[in-house]
Amino acid sequence: MIIVLSRDIRPADKQALTAFLESKGFRLREIQGEQETVLAAVGIVPIDVRQVELLPGVARVIPITSPFKLASREVRKEDTTFPVGPIKVGGPRIVVIAGPCAVESREHILEVARIVKDSGAAMLRGGAYKPRTSPYAFQGLGAEGLAFLKAAGEATGLPVVSEIVSPEHADLFRELVDVLQIGARNMQNFELLKRVGALGKPVLLKRGPAATIQDLLMSAEYLLAHGTEAVMLCERGIRTFETYTRYTLDLSAIPVVKKLSHLPILVDPSHGTGLREKVPPMALAAVAAGADGLTVEVHTDPQAALSDGPQSLYPDQFEKLMRDIQALAPVLGKEVARLPEREPLVLADPSGRVPPAGDLSVGFQGERGAFSEKALLAYFPEGAVGVPHAEFRDVFEAVLTGKVAFGIVPVENTLTGSIHQNYDLLLQYPDLRIVGEKIIRILHHLIGLPSSSLEGIRQVYSHPQALSQCALYLERFPAWEKTPFYDTAGAVAFIAREGRPEAAAIASLEAARAYGMKVLKEGIETNSQNYTRFVIIALGEAAGTLGAPGAIAAGRGANKASLVFATANTPGSLFQALRVLAERSINMVKLESRPIAGKPWEELFYLDVALPEAEEPFRQALEELKGVTEGLRILGIYRS
């Protein structure tokens, strides 16, 4: 049964409740959800639920109807997520595990590890104990193979995954691997499940070739009941009458599992098809169907592989597959889990504007002297180092992979409106949060070579937005050729590089300084009320996720929150959402709608709200909003 705890349960009541249930023989698991905290009590214990309902601190008691309990969505409404080393599994991420079927030698596993890492794999796989159909086939290198795998993991930073076939090996695996794989043949080896579950480490549980989805979830229940909370399920093909492929990959298991369970589900297209050329299409189909990840066999020389060569991808095939998955991920609102290039930065004081000493690299889009760089220098104290990037997406990617500690991107201009691409990117990179904002005045100057004069100018280069913002001034010089350029500061750099005295650029004072150029005319923008709002983005739990303990506390000192949600396509649904804020006098400072890709005429709403002094009204509002909106996400809680 599920015991929903009152929000204000006293510690003493909670203790009495758990003692009572344990005395009756229940196994208990506390689950903190977004909406409520529940105790899952499992066991075959005859009890009148009213006895529990009447205990202090109990809000209500719900029987669990499915045969699997801890694995069931009934117990946990949100998707389970957990870390495997630096990689987060579950939620809006796609985790790709890659490597050879078997560890073949120290050198080989290291070589494959480097290759799959370079292509973007998040974890390394390799069997050391191989359950083979024939006793005469290669059985794996055993403990030595595990040591080679671990060494390759350490050399590359990739967490490692390997199959355990016997409870006797539990101690060895605990030491040497990050994820214990239970193979298809052992899915119902219950003694193995109990021992592995009790280790408490992450497990990859593969579906048996003749197992139903319910069987798979019952096996997951064994793992959960014995101690681990980190279980990834894996569909790897089932036996059917079809013989062309090695098994029949049951992709419909993905949505079925998603409905029944909160556990992440991966897909193994390598064993599922047994044929190399069928692996990439099925891998992409699995991702499109909602899989939380893949496990893929990759070998440098599949012809010579000691096992499963025919289904192993060549390195360049794997590289292409990863690029395709990268392209597909944003369509699904997901990101591909990546190994950070260094430890994510934890903001010492997310409320303050001063990040911890040390690394202050800040990615921005554009060339040196761009308005983004000006904004970051204004936001961060002395010592921040701006790192230029070609595209906005590159800035997000650099923050995600830890190449820079922060990023800064424009989201809104007072004359030209929102920069939608950055709103979309905020959604596509759910591990990044807004941690601050900076509004700067945009002052445009006409800039030329030190030797240039206004009279000699024939051509003007700048970003189209800057050209349009200076339209009135430019009208005075009808003979000037107006040439759009990708970036304001980039235009200055271009003229400096080309040494063209008859050309000028429209950009900031900083850009003129950065390239040793001369300001020919100051402040040429049509409207002096030209401001751009930038947001500072960072990786990590600094701002927390909705409902996570401390999510709001993490933003203490914060006075603004940015949210995004969709509403049902029914009359008054947006009104219902806004009412939640209005009733608590929470001031909405911005509301913006964006079409949802792939869902014509459905909209996402981006909302900025001023945070009230007290935390509770906002916390309550978030909880209520969850009920009347879809896919509510906090983009950041920060100080403006």
- Give the interface with ligand PEP as residue ranges (CB under 6 A): 101, 127, 163, 183-185, 206, 236, 268, 271
Q: Which residues pair with 333 in a beta bridge?
A: none
Nearer to ligand PEP, 246 or 445 (CB): 246
State in angstroms the smallest separation of the CB of 204 from ligand PEP: 9
Min CB(294)–Mn ion separation in Å: 14
Nearest residue (CB) to Mn ion, 308 versus 412: 308
φ/ψ of residue 61, rounded to 5: -125, 130
Least distance in angstroms from the C-beta of 128 to ligand PEP:
10
Per partner kind, with CB cut-offs from 5 to 8 A, the member of Mn ion, ligand PEP, none near residue 236 is: ligand PEP
Q: Which residue in this structure is represented by tokens 């280069």?
A: 461
Contact by Cβ (8 Å): 247, 220: no
Q: Which candidate in 534, 565, 605, 618 is catalytic?
A: 534
Q: Which is nearer to ligand PEP, 152 or 395 (CB)?
A: 152
Closest distance to ligand PEP from the beta carbon of 163 (Å): 6
Question: Which residue bears the tokens 């649904």?
Answer: 573
Farthest CA pair distance, the chain = 94
Quote the least distance from Cβ 129 to ligand PEP, whole Å: 10
Alpha-carbon span 158 to 339, nearest angstrom? 7
Contacts with Mn ion, residue ranges (CB under 5 A)? 101, 308
Residues 327, 331, 333, 336, Cα dihedral to 10°: -20
Q: Give all strands (DSSP E) within 329-430, no chain letters.
A: 335-336, 361-365, 385-389, 406-413, 417-418
Establish whether 532 is a catalytic residue.
yes
Of 162 and 228, which CB lies nearer to ligand PEP in the complex structure? 162
For ligand PEP, the closer of residues 51 and 105 by Cβ is 105
CA distance 360 to 380: 8
The CA-based angle 314-318-321, given to 5 degrees, is 140
Q: Which is nearer to ligand PEP, 286 or 419 (CB)?
A: 286
Of 228, 273, 488, 532, which residue is the catalytic one?
532
Contacts of 386 (CB under 8 A, 6+ apart): 362, 363, 364, 368, 372, 373, 376, 377
Indicate if 534 belongs to the active site. yes
By CB atoms closer than 10 A (0-12, 13-18, 19+), residue 252 is exposed
**To the nearest whole angstrom, how small is the minimum distance from the Cβ of residue 38 to ligand PEP?**
33
Distance CA 509, CA 512 (A): 5
- Quote the radius of gyration of the chain (alpha carbons, Å): 28
What amino acid positions are annotated as catalytic residues?
532, 534
